[in-house]
Structure 1
Amino acid sequence: MSILDYFLFLAVLSIWGILVVNVVLTIAGYVNYLQKVRRPELQLPVKVPFVSIMVPAHNEGIVIVKTLQSLLNFDYPKDRYEIIIINDNSAELLAEVQSLYPHRNLKVINTDKTNGGKGKSNALNIGLKQARGSLISIYDADNTPQRTALRYLVAELMSDQRLAAVIGKFRTRNKNASILTRFINIETLSFQWMAQAGREKLFKLCTIPGTNYVIRRDILEKIGGWDVKALAEDTEISFRVYRMGYRIRFQPLAVTWEQEPQTLDVWFHQRTRWVKGNIYVILKNARLLFTKTGRPIRFDLLYFLSIYFLLMTSLILSDSMFVLSVAGIAHSDLVGFSNILWLMAIITFVISTFVTITTEKGEMTIANLMIIVFMYLVYSQMWLAVAAHGMVGYVREQVFHQQAKWYKTKRYQ
């Protein structure tokens, strides 16, 4: 075997290893989901805790009214929660909503040039200072949660004192807007919330998403609030919660619908922010990988390292060898073998992904089956470009001591 054969073999082995891990997580997640939807519904305690719902809103005039109407419509006791909008440039519409609901606990915090425009973590820390609740819930400004979402989250959290937070499931509100949103819809079902359920089942690990979750205020204050340097503030705070010895639980019945990017440019910028944010969290915690302190987050650290470094390198090498082989520039004795494994990988990916969407009404269609095949061939390559771009951008910012900028995702009517 040549040196190229060895590299190609390692690349294929790495890709398949990560694929197998994801299949195992999917199976475990499916089992976890079935167990949770069949168990008796949890009830709120007699003494219902007061919840502060915080919504960071930067130029969110297009979507904020619909979001607020959904939050005000929760079936949670009306006198036991407040809504705090940390507002930046959405004042007129917020004033309109306040005039419609003057009797409700709706508070607007208007930022200025001194304390505003510094990202989501900063906005949440500002809101926390004025929050009255013993529990804090976070929703993004583009969310329309179901009426029962907050009640499910709080009931789950109050059922176990070991829990620091409970996270819900998010669905794609505009899934039919474009082929890209169709991709994101399936990605959300398969690789975000189903993977959450799988990691919880096997490792008692869940990562707080950016929205639709509730967390205990005392624990939040104990860990110092949100890290203002973190673009992926959700992953970063999850790691600190676990390192303190607390747990996070996934409740799939608590559902919110959110708006996703409809164009490639918006998607690329948003996902690049995710990549930079996760790289920051990985490097911040990498020194804990094989220490006692880092044991609770070890699987996630290894998983993120594999996804952002090992898988990316392997895919670039595999794709490069395929192109060079077709062009007749390079030759490997393993190309034929690699192509067989590649075909098997597609089949495995399609089957496991399709199984995950069978849990959702209306998603088990031939059209989605074709979308899944297309996702492997196209969407995964798009993610590869995002990962590479995000990594280069992160390195550049560190070398030149540049402040990471929070990219504001475009909203749609």
Structure 2
Amino acid sequence: MPLQRDAAAARTNILGTSHSPHNVPAWDGSRERGDLDHAVNSLRRSHPELSAGEAAWRWQKWTLALLPPACLAAALIALDQLIFALAALLVLPFFCVVALRTAALWHTAFGSKSHTAEQDIETHPVELPRYTLLVPLYDEAGIVRDLVSALSAIDYPAERLQILLILEETDTATRRAVTETPLPDHVSIVVVPDGKPRTKPRALNYALRRATGDLVVVYDAEDVPEPDQLRRASRLIAASPHLGCVQARLNVLNAEENWLTRQFAIEYTVLFDCLLPTLQRLALPVPLGGTSNHFPRAVLEEVGGWDPFNVTEDADLGIRLARSGSTVKVLTSTTWEEAPATFRTWLKQRTRWLKGWMQTYLVHMRNPVRTARDLGWLQFFGLQVLMGGVILSALVHPWFYAVMAAELAFGPLSAPHHHTLSDAVKVIGLTNLVLGYVSGVALGCVAVAGRGRQRLAISALLMPVYWLLVSLAAYRALFQLAFTPYIWEKTQHRPRAAFTTTNRPSA
């Protein structure tokens, strides 16, 4: 699976045309076609069981197809017994989600903050490796200048830095904006030929063949990474031989813009400042965020790069790294982004994320025994809790309200002959629900307080309302998974001058 190539020759191919405008490489038709085929089909050919090119295997399709009519038939025959069975099945996964949040709350509120993984190696300087920044852009003409400004602020020697702006052949507006923007000499343009699926991971795979860095990082077009992030990530990778990725923390610039951005900011802070570091401490699989992932290029190539058919290629890659025996560490450096400020934009983004998590879960559960063997049983259990729990909770959450409303309107839905077991399941289920709310809200408050954003804590009380919107996106994702699994709903971004940025507290 690893790609063997001459790094010097690759550098000549990419950067040897620096005399031409914006370092655009000369056209090489045969190479372009070969790289495009590799970008789309390499993983599917070498490891078809790890590719979402086939949305689900036959037994999964039959299970998903038969489950709804089976539940409907059971509801018509014995609704009370169906409710009892479902409640009993959901007790354990929901309890585990609550337990994970509680562990994250404990580590965040009471864990030692005086020592981090990076501090172990900060006193051991190493030679700075060559770094390649992969920056995919699609329909981002309005923020090209902001992007160039953010990349120019990175504190890393230009002679050891390769920045590839990855553009789609059909995106003429962004290509025009890039050509009209002055670029540093170490910035090059990669134009991805048109093809299907038109996804971010396809573009990343295409550009990876042109990378010359020992380390590779992915940034999105709207990202503002802290200037020393590359230096800190490279030190951490150099000190950790089994490290497959360093994930920087993500947070949002426009947290105070409206209710939706406040909820998004709380959610992001909880995920990247609390949950992912807890997964790291517990040695559980870490699903990556879509940006600020720092990889040793050799490791990235060995696991097959990104899956072009998975619309959350980051989470999938995190699981594949875990299956290969590589670890992921969270870096206490922040990359700042724009939170979606309108419901339409938010819904499209969240639908894509949840659809990708569903794709990822289906891929890695095609052969559960093999996945468990690759991960080990503890990490396999963690996969069920995290990925399975997130998907399940998003789909099931609104039904708690539906059942409660029905019971208030029509009386108890269970049969008149109660027994101790059914009462116990009901009590445990309600306890899980309450603890889920309490732990989620408490973790949100502690997380934003750690960022110096105490004003956001009051908004954490409305997180259950936000979770209902997540459930709407989950059902939309489920529909798309069935009918349009590879459609990529683009998140629209605005120039930073178009919205008021908040003060950026320290990480």
Q: Which band: TM-score by shorter chain?
A: 0.7 to 0.9
User: Which residue is 2:42 aligned to?
Assistant: none
**Residue type of the partner of 1:110?**
V
Coordinate RMSD, CA, aligned: 2.8
Decide whether the 8 Å contact of 2:156 with 2:228 is kept in 1: yes
Pair 1:305 & 2:388 matched: yes
Q: What CA distance in whole angstroms lies between the structure 2 residues aligned with 1:49 and 1:144?
A: 22
Larger Rg: 2
Which deviates more, 226-235 or 8-17?
8-17
Written as runs of structure 1 = structure 2, the 5 A alignment for 1:219-258 is 219-252=299-332, 254-258=333-337
**Cα offset, 1:147, TM superposition:** 0.8
Written as runs of structure 1 = structure 2, the 5 A alignment for 1:147-186 is 147-186=227-266
Give the percent of matched residue pairs that are identical in Structure 1 and Structure 2. 21
Deviations, residues 148-174 of structure 1 (Å, cap 9, x unaligned): 112111111111111121110011112
Deviations, residues 82-101 of structure 1 (Å, cap 9, x unaligned): 1100113312322233x353
**Residue type of the partner of 2:102?**
V
Deviations, residues 262-305 of structure 1 (Å, cap 9, x unaligned): 11111111111111111111111114544312327414421211
Decide whether the 8 Å contact of 2:273 with 2:447 is kept in 1: no
Q: What CA distance in whole angstroms lies between the structure 1 residues aligned with 2:96 and 2:298?
A: 40
Decide whether the 8 Å contact of 1:55 with 1:138 is kept in 2: yes
Pair 1:328 & 2:410 matched: yes
**Residue type of the partner of 2:313?**
E
Q: What CA distance in whole angstroms lies between the structure 1 residues aligned with 2:124 and 2:206?
A: 29
Which residue among 400, 403, 410 is the counterpart of 1:318?
400
Pair 1:136 & 2:220 matched: no
Q: What CA distance in whole angstroms lies between the structure 1 residues aligned with 2:263 and 2:204?
A: 30
**Residue type of the partner of 2:255?**
K
Which residue among 95, 108, 128 is the counterpart of 2:189?
108
Q: What CA distance in whole angstroms lies between the structure 2 residues aligned with 1:13 and 1:408?
A: 36
Written as runs of structure 1 = structure 2, the 5 A alignment for 1:360-379 is 360-361=451-452, 363-365=453-455, 368-376=456-464, 378-379=465-466
User: Which residue is 1:389 aligned to?
Assistant: 476
Q: What CA distance in whole angstroms lies between the structure 2 residues aligned with 1:38 and 1:403?
A: 39
SS at match of 1:327: helix
Which deviates more, 32-41 or 55-64?
32-41
Structure 2 segments unaligned to the other structure (5+ residues): 1-79, 496-507
Decide whether the 8 Å contact of 1:166 with 1:215 is kept in 2: yes
Decide whether the 8 Å contact of 1:15 with 1:314 is kept in 2: no
SS at match of 2:454: coil
Decide whether the 8 Å contact of 1:82 with 1:106 is kept in 2: yes
Decide whether the 8 Å contact of 1:231 with 1:277 is kept in 2: yes
Which deviates more, 19-28 or 143-152?
19-28
How many residues are treated as equivalent by the alignment? 398
**Cα offset, 1:258, TM superposition:** 0.7
SS at match of 1:63: helix
Which deviates more, 34-43 or 257-266?
34-43
Written as runs of structure 1 = structure 2, the 5 A alignment for 1:281-300 is 281-290=360-369, 291-295=372-376, 297-300=379-382
Decide whether the 8 Å contact of 1:83 with 1:106 is kept in 2: yes
Which residue among 270, 274, 281 is the counterpart of 2:353?
274
Q: What CA distance in whole angstroms lies between the structure 2 residues aligned with 1:341 and 1:292?
A: 31
Which residue among 410, 428, 438 is the counterpart of 1:347?
438
Q: In 2 relative to 1, CA 130–386 (structure 1 residues): closer, same or farther, beyond 3 Å? A: same
**Cα offset, 1:203, TM superposition:** 1.8
SS at match of 1:110: strand
Q: In 2 relative to 1, CA 271–341 (structure 1 residues): closer, same or farther, beyond 3 Å? A: closer
Decide whether the 8 Å contact of 2:244 with 2:326 is kept in 1: yes
Structure 1 segments unaligned to the other structure (5+ residues): none
